Structure 1
């Protein structure tokens, strides 16, 4: 993993105080470019997430009915839009945003409002899109 990408995770996501675990996944390379310690979504889980944000209606329907798994935890999918996903498990949640080459995944703790977590992930996505990613 490149330390520049890790800075985005550490400073922009974790450093925001709204996200406690995060990763930047390249769907073109099918690897994480950066990942916070203790957060390890599987390749299969990321495959489902990538399918959903790329517009696969079957993957989205399955996640709505069966749940979305991230790092082994089942989340209830509550929103899946053109480039973003939000899912929750109790008072914690997962915010996802797609750029041209990456998927940003952020987990928020119970103490964070979902809207703040979503905004944090979406803002980084907008920044990376502006940089050509």
Structure 2
């Protein structure tokens, strides 16, 4: 399966409207849905946030110029919220999955979809 198929599968659930797959370092985009691409500074702040959340705690996280309030962060997952929309970022052994859910979607439903894909990628060595 190509990397593009993973982002397509995320958006194909109807719970996520945008998705991207980056290298674990955040230095290269592997796949994206539509035009969902973060600015280099945005993906770098997320990549760094898995190991040191101080910047995200102080300034929030950003995607496509939108600021999200940090809800959760650990060495695997970072969740952000802006009004009724949200951002889910999950790091695997070699990738960072980033997905956006729109207004009207329950955060728990969206999170479960992204976390399950991350579990699958980890189980296959990625």
Give me the TM-score of the superposition, normalised by structure 2: 0.94
The residue that corresponds to 2:6 in the other structure is: 8
CA distance in structure 2 between the partners assigned to 1:110 and 1:126 by the alignment: 26
1:50 to 47, 53, 58: 47
The residue that corresponds to 1:61 in the other structure is: 54
Alignment gaps of 5+ in structure 2: none
Query: What does residue range 68-83 of structure 1 map to in structure 2 within 5 Å?
Result: 68-83=61-76
Greater share of helix residues, 1 or 2? 1
The residue that corresponds to 1:19 in the other structure is: 16
1:84 to 70, 77, 99: 77
The residue that corresponds to 1:114 in the other structure is: 107
Alignment gaps of 5+ in structure 1: none
> In 2, are the aligned partners of 1:96 and 1:118 still within 8 Å (CA)?
no
Deviations 1:28-72 (A, max 9, x none): 47111100112121111111111112x12xxx1221222211111
Aligned-pair CA distance for 1:88: 0.4
**1:41 equivalent in alignment to 2:38:** yes
Runs (4 or more) in structure 1 with deviation over 4 Å come to none
SS across alignment from 2:2: helix
The residue that corresponds to 1:132 in the other structure is: 125
